[in-house]
Amino acid sequence: MGFFFLSNTILQIAILAVLITASKSLVHGAETPRLSISTDKEALISFKSGIDPETLGPLLTWDQTLSPCNWTGVLCNDKVGARVVELDLAGLGLKGSISPHIGNLSFLRSLQLQDNQLMGTFPNQLGNLFRLSVLNMSFNSIQGVIPQNISRCTELEILDLEQNAISGRIPEELSYLAKLQVLNLGRNLLFGSIPPSLANLSSLISLNLGTNRLGGMIPGDLSRLQKLKQLDLTINNLTGTVPPSIYNMSSLVELALASNDLWGIIPYNVGDTLPNLLNFNFCFNKFSGTIPGSLHNLTRIQVIRMAHNLLHGTVPPGLGNLPELQMYNIGFNRIVGVGDNGLDFLTSLTNSTRLNFLAVDGNLLEGVIPESIGNLSKVLSKLYMGGNRIHGRIPASIGHLSGLTLLNLSYNSISYDIPQEIGNLEELLSLGLAGNNISGKIPTSLGSLKNLINIDLSGNELEGTIPATFENFERLLSLDLSCNKLNGSIPKEILNLRSLSTHLNLSNNLLTGPLPQEIGTLDSLVAVDLSNNILSETIPDSIGNCKSLEKLLMANNMFTGPIPDTLSELKGLETLDISSNKLSGSIPESLQKLQGLQLLNLSFNDLEGEVPVGGVFANLSGIYLDGNPKLCFMSACEKGRDHRKRLILVCIIVGSIAIIALCSTIGLVFYLRKRKSKVTAPSDSFEIERQHQMGSIGYIPPEYGMGEKPSTAGDVYSYGITLLELFTGKSPTHESFTGDLSLKKWVQTAIATNVDQVSDPGLVRTNSSLSDDVQAITPEAQTDCSIAVLGVGLACTVDSPDGRISMRDALCKLKSIRENLFKTDHARKTNV
Ligand SMILES: *[C@@H]1O[C@H](CO)[C@@H](O)[C@H](O)[C@H]1NC(C)=O
Ligand SMILES: *[C@@H]1O[C@H](CO)[C@@H](O)[C@H](O)[C@H]1NC(C)=O
Ligand SMILES: *[C@@H]1O[C@H](CO)[C@@H](O)[C@H](O)[C@H]1NC(C)=O
Ligand SMILES: *[C@@H]1O[C@H](CO)[C@@H](O)[C@H](O)[C@H]1NC(C)=O
Ligand SMILES: *[C@@H]1O[C@H](CO)[C@@H](O)[C@H](O)[C@H]1NC(C)=O
Ligand SMILES: *[C@@H]1O[C@H](CO)[C@@H](O)[C@H](O)[C@H]1NC(C)=O
Ligand SMILES: *[C@@H]1O[C@H](CO)[C@@H](O)[C@H](O)[C@H]1NC(C)=O
Ligand SMILES: *[C@@H]1O[C@H](CO)[C@@H](O)[C@H](O)[C@H]1NC(C)=O
Ligand SMILES: *[C@@H]1O[C@H](CO)[C@@H](O)[C@H](O)[C@H]1NC(C)=O
Ligand SMILES: *[C@@H]1O[C@H](CO)[C@@H](O)[C@H](O)[C@H]1NC(C)=O
Ligand SMILES: *[C@@H]1O[C@H](CO)[C@@H](O)[C@H](O)[C@H]1NC(C)=O
Ligand SMILES: *[C@@H]1O[C@H](CO)[C@@H](O)[C@H](O)[C@H]1NC(C)=O
């Protein structure tokens, strides 16, 4: 009873508690919309708590005892109870995510969080900020999709989300933002097509969707955006033709469609229909037709870019009328210019005094560079004219273009000397004259180009010496003088260019003398090519100081002496080609340490001794050692010895019959030999044994030379060579086998025509005065037998390991040859 009473009381208390809680929450619920400066403060504190404490910086001064209106980056209005109206935390290096409580700053008009390292997704609650007119979150790392709720911020005028990691599609709902003037979603990961509903953003002035993954066609509806000045759709995956109505958007100042998959003809009158255009960028598409001449009628235009399309025809007139032009790029099209005057349009550009970028490269322009080129703008910084059909000389007036940082005239048909006035271009960083017909000496004045980073004079007819003044190129990264007729020695001065790091290419010239030991100064250099010169003396040990080398090519010179041991210090070396020199001595063991080596060419030298087998040599596939007759392949020596052990093993496995076959075949050889030469078997077999030291290269299967691991197929090869030797009496290293002719080749060609020539004269006797103790064998039978055995030998020595017969098959064949020899001989004799 007492127990019941007690529990009843508890029940009543519980019900009471529930009621109180419920009424409390009802009251609270009714108060929710009552946001105030204190909820603003809470929201800001919550925002701060989402930021990595290490990056808080100025936010550390946010004193919670003060009103947030006094905090850095926070602005309140004076009226209506002082609420936060602006939050500007741009460029503070803040790291972290954006708190969803930011959606409680209900009076916020401007939110600027650009240039930070904010991550995470876009808080949906931003959609609650219906007074927001500026939202700039550009240059952060925001992920996820654009929340549809953003469409509730109907006061938005600026929405800038450039350079984040925002993905998904562009929400249709953005089109509800009727006051939007700037929509910048560039440099994100947006995909799908461009919603035509964006055309409803009738206030839009700037639309940037560049550098995303947008596909499909450009919606023609966009032409309804009558206030649009900037349309940037570059670097997407847009396809099809540009809707004609786009070319009617007369408000446009910038039209940038570069790097898409767009095609069709650019209307010739585009300059008339887009009269306000200052920036026209159609590069990297598949536009065809001609250069729209009307663009040259836009006297205020600043940028004309159409490079990398399929445009043909000539450069239309009118270029003389563009005083504001800064950039003119029609490179990599099919633009023609005919006759000596094909480049005269360049003269018109002398009126464009602000021109700083001019590219006409990769076209079909003929003609001579006009003397007036020197009257182009003093601020011209980059001049690309490579890959055309320009002939004649480089005018000396080019030396007036004092603003040039890049001059590229490569791959034309330019002749005559390099004008020494090029030395006046002291701002020059890159000079490309490669692939022309330029002759004469390299002017020493080039040494004045102290800022040069790249110089490429390769593939010309330059002669004389490399000017020592090149030592002034203190910032040079790459030097290419290859494929000329330069002579004299390599000036040690140019090897003091410590900055040299990309490549040094002096190959295919007539350079003589030694490689100066100063080469060791170039410790940042990645690639050196000195091939095909007449360089001599020893390779300096200092080469080991070129610690960054990945490619070292010195083939076809006259270098003598040993391969420097110090090469092993070039840890990053991938390619080493010192073939066709006169290098002697042995291959340094230390080269085994070059773990990165992919190609090693030491062929056609005078190297000797054992080829290292360890380290990188063990599984190097690109190794070339031909033409070093004194080289011994140690791995093959060892494997050769192994081979005989294994051969015996194989014999056992294949079976006693095979052993008998082999033994009796070889026995037969000994027998026949002995009978002819009357030499005792022991000394004869000693002789064979001596020749079979396998210390010389003739027994090594070709694939070992290519770095293959020793294999049974390799053993078959060595065995085959042994057979050929036994039955021809000629060692594979016989002096008559030089160059292309090997024992195998010799047998191959002779076997069809004149087997007597290949057969060991000590083996086959034409004179059949057969004697005494053994069964008589006719010469015909001996010849048949020899041919058959040599055939097996050849089958064993096929170059490709896969093409060789197996040891088992070789033994079977030998066995049947042996049986045939006695059987047919017997038959012949009975027939006679
Ligand atoms: C923001 O408002 C929601 C209700 O709309 C409330 O639950 C939340 O606590 C508020 N956040 C802050 C930090 O005041
Ligand atoms: C803002 O800070 C200043 C001092 O830095 C102080 O004088 C002023 O009273 C503060 N205002 C508010 C509203 O807290
Ligand atoms: C976003 O909008 C949807 C409907 O438009 C609404 O259900 C949802 O609550 C909103 N989310 C926020 C966080 O405001
Ligand atoms: C947004 O901020 C970036 C970075 O500071 C600035 O370059 C850009 O002009 C701003 N966007 C707008 C529309 O003002
Ligand atoms: C543009 O807005 C109108 C209403 O203003 C609407 O009827 C139409 O469907 C919208 N167009 C698109 C393409 O969303
Ligand atoms: C571009 O579009 C083509 C088809 O139009 C598609 O095959 C390709 O994957 C797209 N590329 C990217 C990067 O989206
Ligand atoms: C472009 O505008 C002209 C004149 O306003 C008009 O005649 C023509 O039909 C328009 N073309 C397109 C494709 O909108
Ligand atoms: C350039 O403008 C003139 C006069 O305004 C006009 O006669 C000429 O046809 C235009 N040229 C082109 C190529 O549109
Ligand atoms: C440069 O402009 C002047 C005046 O506008 C003009 O007379 C001259 O022909 C132009 N020069 C060239 C090379 O087009
Ligand atoms: C270059 O301009 C100068 C005057 O600035 C003039 O004397 C000279 O004739 C012009 N040269 C060419 C080739 O147009
Ligand atoms: C120079 O032009 C040629 C031909 O267009 C090109 O292959 C080469 O890469 C260019 N060099 C530089 C440094 O721009
Ligand atoms: C190369 O230049 C010389 C003059 O230096 C000229 O005689 C020769 O015809 C030119 N060759 C070619 C193929 O342009």
Q: Decide whether any atom of ligand 5 lies within 6 Å of the 195 Cβ.
A: no
**Ligand 4, pocket-test mutation among 94, 111, 114, most atoms within 8 A of CB:** 114
Report which DSSP code applies to 130.
T
DSSP one-letter code for 805: P
Q: What is the pLDDT of residue 741?
A: 75
User: Picking from 223-227, 353-357, 367-371, 762-766, which range would have the lowest pLDDT averaged per residue?
Assistant: 762-766
Contact 362 CB / ligand 11 (< 6 Å)? yes
Centre of ligand 6 to C-alpha 237, Å, is 6
When mean pLDDT is compared over 206-220, 647-661, 699-713, 721-735, the highest value belongs to 206-220
Q: For residue 281, which phi and psi values (nearest 5 degrees)?
A: -130, 100
What distance in Å separates the CA atoms of residue 641 and residue 710, rounded to the nearest whole number?
Answer: 12
Are 815 and 666 in contact by the 8 Å Cβ rule? The answer is no
The more confident residue out of 665 and 462 is 462
**Beta-strand relationship, 254-256 and 230-232:** parallel
**pLDDT at 801 (0 to 100):** 81
Residues with CB under 6 A from ligand 7: 244-245, 248
CATH of domain 702-765+776-826: 1.10.510.10
pLDDT at 613 over 90: no
Provide long-range contacts, Cβ within 8 A and 24+ apart, for 108-111.
108/84, 108/132, 109/85, 109/133, 109/134, 109/155, 110/85, 110/86, 110/134, 111/86, 111/87, 111/135, 111/136, 111/137
Percent of the chain with pLDDT over 90: 63
Antiparallel, parallel or unpaired: β 84-88 and 74-76: antiparallel
Pocket-testing residue among 417, 437, 438, ligand 12, by greatest number of atoms within 8 A of Cβ: 437
User: Measured from the CB, is residue 293 less than 6 Å from ligand 8?
Assistant: yes
Instruction: Compute the average pLDDT of residues 463-490.
Output: 95
DSSP 8-state secondary structure symbol assigned to residue 435: S
Q: Which residues of 745-754 are buried (b: 16+ CB within 10 A; e: fewer)?
A: ebbeebbeee
**Other CB atoms within 10 A of residue 683 CB:** 9
List 695's β-bridge partners, or say none: none
- As given in the structure block, the two tokens for residue 242 are 């540009």
Distance CA 736, CA 730 (A): 10
Distance CA 303, CA 714 (A): 67
Contact predicate 428/453, CB 8 Å: no
Tell me the Ramachandran region of residue 192: left when phi exceeds 0, alpha when psi lies from -120 to 50, beta otherwise.
left
- C-alpha closest to that of 559 among 514, 529, 604, 599: 514
**Has residue 829 got a pLDDT over 90?**
no
DSSP secondary structure letters along 90-116: TTS--EEE--GGGGG-TT--EEE--SS
* Cβ(104) – ligand 3 distance below 6 Å: no
Predicted pLDDT at 674:
46
Q: 96-105, 368-377, 614-623: which range is least confident on average? A: 614-623
Higher-scoring residue by pLDDT: 469, 610? 469
Ligand 11 center to 259 CA (angstroms): 20
pLDDT surpassing 60 at residue 367: yes
Return all residues near 4 (Cβ < 8 A) that are at least 6 apart. none
Q: Which atom of ligand 10 is nearest to the CA of 397?
A: 13
Range 741-750 average pLDDT = 78
Residue for token digits 């930011």?
A: 102
Residues ≥6 apart with Cβ < 8 Å to 408: 361, 383, 384, 385, 386, 430, 432
Please, which residues have CB within 8 angstroms of residue 99's CB and are 6 or more apart in sequence? 43, 46, 47, 49, 50, 123
Q: Which residues contact 748 (CB under 8 A, 6 or more apart)?
A: 794
Structure tokens at 297: 């009628």
Q: How far is the CA of 310 from the centre of ligand 10 (A)?
A: 34
At 346, the pLDDT band (50, 70, 90 cuts) reads very high
**466 C-alpha to center of ligand 12: Å?**
22
Nearest CA to ligand 9 atom 8: 320
Atom of ligand 12 nearest to the CA of 416: 5
Per-residue pLDDT at 45: 94
From 145-154, 582-591, 685-694, the region with the lowest mean pLDDT: 685-694
Please write the tens of the pLDDT for every residue from 172-202: 999 999 999 999 999 999 999 999 999 999 9
Q: What is the pLDDT of residues 270-316, one digit of tens each?
A: 999 999 999 999 999 999 999 999 999 999 999 999 999 999 999 99
617 has a pLDDT exceeding 90: no
Pull the structure tokens for residue 639.
Answer: 């494997």
Contact 429, 454 (CB under 8 A): yes
Residues whose beta carbon lies within 6 Å of some atom of ligand 1: 32, 39, 42-43, 46, 101, 104
Tokens 């004219």 identify what position?
A: 385
pLDDT confidence of residue 339? 83
Pocket test for ligand 3, best of 124, 151, 172, 173 (most atoms within 8 A of CB): 124
Is the confidence at residue 724, as pLDDT, over 70?
yes
Ligand nearest to the CA of 259: 6
The residue ranking higher by pLDDT, 293 or 787, is 293
272 Cβ inside 6 Å of ligand 8: yes
Please check whether residue 768 is in contact with residue 816, taking contact to mean a CB–CB distance below 8 angstroms.
no
pLDDT confidence of residue 622: 83
Q: In the predicted model, is pLDDT for residue 723 greater than 50?
A: yes
Per domain, the residue ranges of the chain are 37-166, 702-765+776-826
| pLDDT tens per residue, range 235-277 | 999 999 999 999 999 999 999 999 999 999 999 999 999 999 9
Q: Whose CA is nearest to atom 9 of ligand 8?
A: 294
Does residue 814 or residue 604 have the better pLDDT? 604
User: How many residues does the structure list for the chain?
Assistant: 832
Kindly give the number of the ligand 7 atom that is closest to the alpha carbon of 244: 13
- Give tens-digit pLDDT for 654-710: 344 344 445 455 555 544 454 443 333 333 333 333 333 333 466 677 777 666 666
pLDDT for 752:
64
d(C-alpha 480, C-alpha 502), whole Å? 10
DSSP string for 284-353: SSEEESB--GGGGG-TT--EEE--SS--EEPPPS-GGG-TT--EEE--SSEEEE-STTTTTHHHHGGG-T
Cα 317 to Cα 348: distance, rounded to the nearest angstrom: 9
Ligand in closest contact with the CA of 124: 3
Q: How far apart are CA 47 and CA 41, in angstroms?
A: 10
Nearest CA to ligand 7 atom 3: 248
Closest ligand relative to 350 C-alpha: 9
Are 131 and 107 in contact by the 8 Å Cβ rule? The answer is yes
Q: Which residues line ligand 4 (CB under 6 A)?
A: 90, 114-115, 136, 138-139, 158, 160, 182
Look at residue 15 and tell me whether its pLDDT is greater than 70.
Answer: no
Task: Return mean pLDDT, the chain.
Answer: 84
Q: Relative to the CA of 351, which ligand 9 atom is closest?
A: 1
Ligand nearest to the CA of 62: 2
Please check the confidence at residue 792 and state whether its pLDDT lies above 90.
Answer: no
CATH number of 37-166: 3.80.10.10
Q: Which helix (H) or strand (E) holds 662?
A: helix 656-677
* Distance between Cα 557 and ligand 2 center (Å): 82
User: Do residues 75 and 88 make contact, with C-beta atoms less than 8 angstroms apart?
Assistant: yes
Give the integer Cα–Cα distance in Å for 75 and 85: 6
Among 67-71, 99-103, 721-725, which is the least confidently predicted range? Answer: 721-725
The answer to which of 1-5, 116-120, 132-136, 819-823 has the lowest mean pLDDT is 1-5
The larger pLDDT score, comparing residue 234 to residue 788, is at: 234
Indicate whether residue 88 lines ligand 8 (CB < 6 A).
no
Q: Report residue 157 as tokens.
A: 């005028």
